[in-house]
Amino acid sequence: MITPLDIRAGNSYSCKFTVNIPLDSYGRPGGLYSMADLPVQRYGDYTSTGDIVARDLNTELFEVRDHESKSTFVVKFADTQDIEIQE
């Protein structure tokens, strides 16, 4: 199991993550995170997988690019799991 502290520069990593954001009626990212013309229905947890783009050890935050929505999210280390190296 890879932890945020195990990540090394020069390698690509992906993870499963959860963020609390505006969601549309289908549970997809809404508002500024959406290209669709659907209104925000609620705020809630959005869980997906994505590539880790950046890591800040001081604030314990990742920048993650979502595979599904192609949006970029700032995610706490504690809200990520299943970190894997991409080969």
The predicted-structure confidence for 32-86, as pLDDT tens digits, reads as follows 777 677 788 899 999 999 999 999 999 999 999 999 989 999 999 999 999 999 9
Q: Is 76 inside any structural domain?
A: yes
Residue 35's pLDDT is 67
The CATH number covering residue 34 comes to 2.30.30
Q: How many domains does the chain have?
A: 1
Q: What integer pLDDT is reported at residue 62 of this predicted model? A: 98
In this structure, is residue 74 part of a structural domain?
yes
User: From CA 34, how far away is CA 40, in angstroms rounded?
Assistant: 10
Q: Is residue 7 part of a domain?
A: no
Residue 54 in domain: yes
Domain of 80 in residue numbering reads as: 16-86
State the amino acid at position 84 in one-letter form.
E
* DSSP annotation of 29: B
| Within-domain flag for 38 | yes
- Identify whether 53 is part of a domain: yes
Strand partners, 21: 44
Is 2 inside a domain boundary? Answer: no
